[in-house]
Amino acid sequence: MIESSTPPLASLDGYRNITDLLVARAAAAPDHVAFEVSGADATASWRPITTREFSDQVRALAKGFIARGIRAGDPIAIMAPTRYEWAVADLAAWFAGAVVVPIYETSSPSQVNAIIADAGVRLAVGGTVDHVALLDAALAQTDDETFGAWTMDAAASGTLPDLVSHGVDVTDEELEARRALATQDDPATIVYTSGTTGEPKGVVLTHRNFLGQVLNIAAAYREIVNEDGNTVIFLPLAHVLARGLQLICLASGMRIAHLSDPSTVVATLDTLRPTFLVVVPRVLQKIQAAAADKAAAMHLSGVWAKAVSTALAWGRREERIDAGRRISKDLGLTLRHRFFDALFYRRLRTVMGGRVGYILSGGAALDADLSLFFRGIGVPVIEGYGLTETTAPLTGNLPGRIASGTVGPPLPGLTVRISEEGEVLARGVGVFDGYRNPAHDEGSFVDGFFRTGDLGRLDPQGRLVLEGRLKDVIVTSNGKTIVPTRWESAVEADPLVSHAVMVGEGKPYLSALLVLDPEQTLAWATAQGTSIPAVTQPDIREVNDPALRAHLQRAVDAANALVARSEQVRRFSVVFADLEDRGLVTPTMKLKRSVVLDRAAVTVEDLYL
C-alpha cells in the first residue's frame, strides 16, 4: 500500500474563523467549567473558570489590542511558559483579527530577534519581566511602528490588565466587526520550526487548517475529549500540538489545567485527576523506571520483572481483541494480571491521578513494548504523528483500534502517501500551503503533497509505521545504507539514556554516542554507591565509568540483537551533555544531530582509532 486516506467527519460550513469555536461554545454552555487555574504555585488551590468568564476576558484583552493600535492581520508574539494567560492572549489576538506568533520561552535573544523581525511583530506578550525585556529589545530593532511588550506577571508594570484598561472605549460592535474579518483561508499563526536539521522556517497556518483539525479530531476522539473529561497541559503552548489540543478541548467542553513546570505534574495529578494526558515518550519511560526503582528498593526486582512481562502479555491480548481476533481463555494470565494489578498496576494508575483513561504520546517514537506495558496496566497509549506543517496530528491510533508499533491511520480529512524513496508525504485539511519565506517552499512539495522528511511505510490496514528521518540515513564506506531509528529507540528505552546517536557516515562500521539522562544517572550512581559528576559547561564530555559502561553494554547488545549485522553498533562512547542548551536541544527536546556530531567530533574520531 502506497497511499491511505480517511474521509472527513466534520464540515467546516458555518465557521468563518477560529474564534467561532469559542463563540459557539460560550453560547451553548456558558457556565461550564472550561479551565482550572492555580494560585501562586502548583500546590495552591485550583480555581474554576467558566466558558463565559474566559470569553469575557478574551474579549476585554482583544479590545486592549485594538485600542493600542493592532490592525487586522498584524502579528502579535507570545513568549511565555504554559499558563492560563497564554490561552487568553492567544484567543484575544484572534478576536482582534491579529496573527499569533508563538516564541518558546527558552529562546535565545538572537532567536527572538530573528522571529520578531521576520514575522513583522507589532506587539508582544511575555510571561515574565525577563521575557518582556527580550521582546522589547527585539521590537526596538524593527523599522515598523510597534506597540510594546506586555507582561502576564501581575507584580510588574505594563501588565495585561493595564492593556485591558486601554480598551474600555472600544465597543462590542467594533470588536465583533474585527473578529469577523478573518476568513478560513487567512493566516492564523506563524510558527517557527525548531530547526533540528537546518535554519528555522516560518510555517503559516490558516484558520482553515486549525478548524479542520479541531473539528475532525474532536469527532474522531469524542470518547476521550468531551464535557465529562479533563486534562493537564504541560507541553509548551508555543508548540502547535499543545495549542491544537487546547482548542479541541475548548470546543468540546473538556476542562483544562495548565502547568508551566513539567516536574510538578506528578504532584498535581492526585488533585486534578485528569481523564486524559498528552506526553512525550520520555515521560512514560520515567514513570516505568520510577516504578522499577521503587520495586528494587523493596527488594522486589524479580517480582517487578514478572509484572512487566505479564503487562506486556495482557497488552498483546487486548490488541488482538481490538483487531477482532479470537482469543482463547488463559486463566493463568488472568490470575497473574489480577495479582500484579493489586500489587503494582493500581498504584501506577493512582500516581497518574486514578482516572486517566487514555494517554496520547507524540513528539518522538514510542517503543512498542512501552505502549504494550501501559495498555497492560490499564492505561492505553494512543500514539500519533504529525508536524508543525500539518497543524500537529497527521495520523493517530484510535480508541479500540490501537496497534503498538504504528502511529495509526491518517486522521479524518487527511491523506498519507509513501514515495518511491520511502518518504512520508501528506495532504489534507491540516496541511499548510507554504512557508512565510517562499524560498523555503522549494523542494517541500511534490504533486500537491508536503514532503515530511520522514521515512515510513503503510501496513495492510493503512496505518503508518515510521522508520526514521530521511536526513539521518547513514551510508557506510561499504556502501550500506542504514536507518538508525530502530537501534537508537531500542537503546533509549534504557532510563539512563536520554538520547542515542548512531554514527558511521563514510566509516567502515557503526558507532554511537549515548547521551546520559542526568537525573536517572545520578539515581543509578547513588544506588551503586558511586559518583558520576554531571556536566557543568556547554560541551559534550565523555564519561569513563566501568560499571556504567557495563550496564549500558547490555542495552547496546539488546539493540544489536534487533537489527541486521550490518546495522549493529560495534563501539560506543558514554557522554554527558547540557540538555538545557537550546543550541544542542530543541524546545521540544529533540537532539540536533549535526550539532552533537560537531561538538563531539574528537570523541567520534576516537571511536575509529
Q: Are residues 324 and 459 in the same domain?
A: yes
Query: Is the per-residue pLDDT at 198 higher than 60?
Result: no
Write down the H helix ranges in 69-106: 84-95
- Average pLDDT rounded to a whole number, residues 444-466: 95
Whole-number Å distance between alpha carbons of 231 and 253? 11
| Average predicted confidence (pLDDT) for the chain | 92
Q: Are residues 498 and 380 in the same domain?
A: no
199-208: pLDDT as tens digits: 678 999 999 9
* pLDDT at position 60: 98
Q: Are residues 498 and 461 in the same domain?
A: no
* pLDDT at position 40: 58
372-431: pLDDT as tens digits: 999 999 999 999 999 999 998 999 999 989 999 899 999 999 999 999 999 999 999 999
Query: What distance, in Å, lies between the first and last C-alpha atoms of the chain?
Result: 44
- Average pLDDT rounded to a whole number, residues 454-462: 94
Share of the chain above pLDDT 70, in %: 97
Query: Is the per-residue pLDDT at 249 higher than 80?
Result: yes
What CATH code is carried by the domain that includes residue 538?
Answer: 3.30.300.30
The band of 455, judged by pLDDT with boundaries at 50, 70 and 90, is very high
| Cβ neighbours for 322, distance < 8 A, ≥ 6 positions apart | 400, 401, 402, 403
Q: Which of 470, 500, 528 lies at the terminal end of a domain, its last residue?
A: 470
Q: Are residues 451 and 589 in the same domain?
A: no
Contacts 24+ apart (CB under 8 A), 266-270: 266/351, 267/42, 267/43, 268/42, 268/43, 268/232, 269/232, 269/351, 269/352, 269/353, 270/350, 270/353, 270/354
Q: Is position 68 within any domain?
A: yes
Q: Are residues 285 and 407 in the same domain?
A: yes
How far is C-alpha 463 from the chain's CA centre? 20
Q: Which domain covers residue 82, as residue numbers?
A: 18-182+232-260
Q: Is position 196 within any domain?
A: no
Q: Are residues 567 and 424 in the same domain?
A: no
Q: Is position 340 within any domain?
A: yes
Q: Is position 545 within any domain?
A: yes
Q: Are residues 466 and 478 in the same domain?
A: no
- Average pLDDT rounded to a whole number, residues 31-38: 96
Q: Which of 470, 500, 532 lies at the terminal end of a domain, its last residue?
A: 470
Q: For residue 410, what are the β-bridge partners?
A: 395
Q: What is the pTM of this model?
A: 0.88
* pLDDT at position 197: 45
Q: Is position 271 within any domain?
A: no
What CATH code is carried by the domain that includes residue 153?
Answer: 3.40.50.12780
Whole-number Å distance between alpha carbons of 293 and 81? 31
Query: Is the per-residue pLDDT at 536 higher than 70?
Result: no
Write down the H helix ranges in 261-406: 265-272, 281-297, 301-322, 331-340, 346-351, 368-376
Q: Are residues 441 and 575 in the same domain?
A: no
Backbone angles phi, psi at 385, to 5 degrees: -150, 140
64-100: pLDDT as tens digits: 999 999 999 999 999 999 999 999 999 999 999 999 9
Q: Are residues 447 and 502 in the same domain?
A: no
* pLDDT at position 607: 92
User: For residue 312, what are the CA distances in angstroms to 96, 106, 255, 307, 404?
Assistant: 51, 38, 32, 9, 11
Which of 83-87, 156-160, 529-533, 584-588 holds the top average pLDDT?
83-87
Q: Is position 74 within any domain?
A: yes
Which of 270-279, 426-435, 517-526 holds the top average pLDDT?
426-435
Place of cell 490588565: 161
Contact 51, 32 (CB under 8 A): yes
102-153: pLDDT as tens digits: 999 988 898 899 999 999 999 999 999 999 999 999 999 998 899 999 999 9
Domain count, the chain: 3
Whole-number Å distance between alpha carbons of 349 and 355? 8
Q: Are residues 409 and 554 in the same domain?
A: no
Query: Is the per-residue pLDDT at 281 higher than 90?
Result: no
Q: Are residues 60 and 84 in the same domain?
A: yes
Name the grid cell of 164: 485591558
The total number of residues written for the chain in this structure: 609
The band of 196, judged by pLDDT with boundaries at 50, 70 and 90, is very low
Q: Which of 470, 499, 530 lies at the terminal end of a domain, its last residue?
A: 470
Q: Is position 222 within any domain?
A: no
Q: Is position 216 within any domain?
A: no
Q: Are residues 571 and 441 in the same domain?
A: no
